[in-house]
Amino acid sequence: MTTSIVQYTLSNEANDTISIINYGARLTSWVTHVDGVKRNIILGYANINDYLTDPFYLGAVAGPYANRLKDAQIHIDDTHYQLNQNEGENQLHGGAKALSDLYWQLDYHQKDTLSLSITLPDGYNGYPGRTIFNVLYRFTANHINQSNLEIKFTITSNKKTIAGPTSHPYFNLNGINNSAQGHTLKLAAAHYTPVNEQAIPTGSIAPIVNTPFDYTHARTINKKDKLDHNFVSNQTLDLLAINQLAELTSPDNKLMLYVLSNYPAIQVYTGHHLKSPFNQFDGICLEPQFCPDSPNNPHFPFTALTPEIPLQTHIHYCLTTM
C-alpha cells in the first residue's frame, strides 16, 4: 500500500494539463492557455507535502458523504448509526481521516485518464459496509477551445449504506496568483436549502426568488457575496440525466467554466474562510452533490446504495476559451 504522495499528470488535445495526487485523490492544478500564456486555474500548495496537513480540502475527494450530516448520525432501515463527529456534534465531509486524507491506490494511468480506488472497512467512521470507492478522471478536448474534465465516481458496498462524494477544487479562472473576486456566476437552481447557525439544513427547500441567493441570472461575485450554500436544481432525483448546474466566467472574460452533473444540487463556496498561505476569496468551489443532510431529510432528492445497486455519479467541468 502506498504511503507517500505520488503525482499524476493528464493532458488533452488542447495541450491543457491537470495534475492529481494519490493523497485524497486531489486535483492540484489545471493549466490552460489564454492568449498563448499558461494559466493555472486551480488553487494548490507550492509544496506538495503541505497537502498532508491541509484543513481546506483543496482539490480533494470529499466523502464518503460530502458536506454536513446533523448530529453525525444516519438511519438505514430503522437502524441508527452514530458517525464520527468532526465539526462540533456534526460530521463534515465524511469525518476525520476520511477520503480526503487517505492514500488512494492506482488502478491505471494513461495520457488522458486516471483511475484511483480506495476501500473503507465496515464501520469506518461509523458507516456500515465494506465500501469501495473508485474515481475516474478523464481529460479531453471537444475542440481546440474547450477542455473537459469528467470525474466519475463508482461506489459499491456489501451492505446498504450511504455515500455521496464530490470533488472540492477551488477554481480561480483569473489565475491562482490573483483574487477570485470579480467572477460572474450563474446557477440553474430555483431553490436552495436554508441552514441554521451550524450550517445544517433546516429541512426546507426554499425558492430563491426575492432572496440574496438568486443567481438564475449571471451576477458578479465580490466581498459581500460570502456563499457557502447548497443550491437545488432538481427536487426529483434522476441519476440517469446529466444537467448543467453552474456557469462561471473569469473577470477578464477570457474563460468560462460550465459545471454539469447527475447530482441534484451544487454547493457554492466563495473561499472566504481561507487562511495562510492563502487569502480569503482566492478560489471558488463548485461542488455537485446531494443536498447536505439528505439522509435525515426524506423529502430531499437522495438514494442509498445497496449490494445489488451501486452508486454512480458524474461531474463534468467544461472549460471554454472565449
Torsion (CA) 11, 259, 98, 155 in degrees, nearest 10: -90
- Tens digit of each residue's pLDDT (9 = 90 or more) over 153-209: 999 999 999 999 999 999 999 999 999 999 999 999 999 999 999 999 999 999 999
Report the distance separating Cα 80 and Cα 91, nearest Å: 15
The residue count of the chain comes to 322
Q: Which three cell numbers stand for residue 102?
A: 487517505
Is this prediction's pTM over 0.75? yes
- Count Cα atoms within 13 angstroms, Cβ side, for 139: 26
**Opening angle at CA 68, ends 304 and 124, nearest 5:** 60
- Tens digit of each residue's pLDDT (9 = 90 or more) over 36-88: 999 999 999 999 999 999 999 999 999 999 999 999 999 999 999 999 999 99
- Tens digit of each residue's pLDDT (9 = 90 or more) over 281-311: 999 999 999 999 999 999 999 999 999 999 9
Note the CATH number of domain 7-321: 2.70.98.10
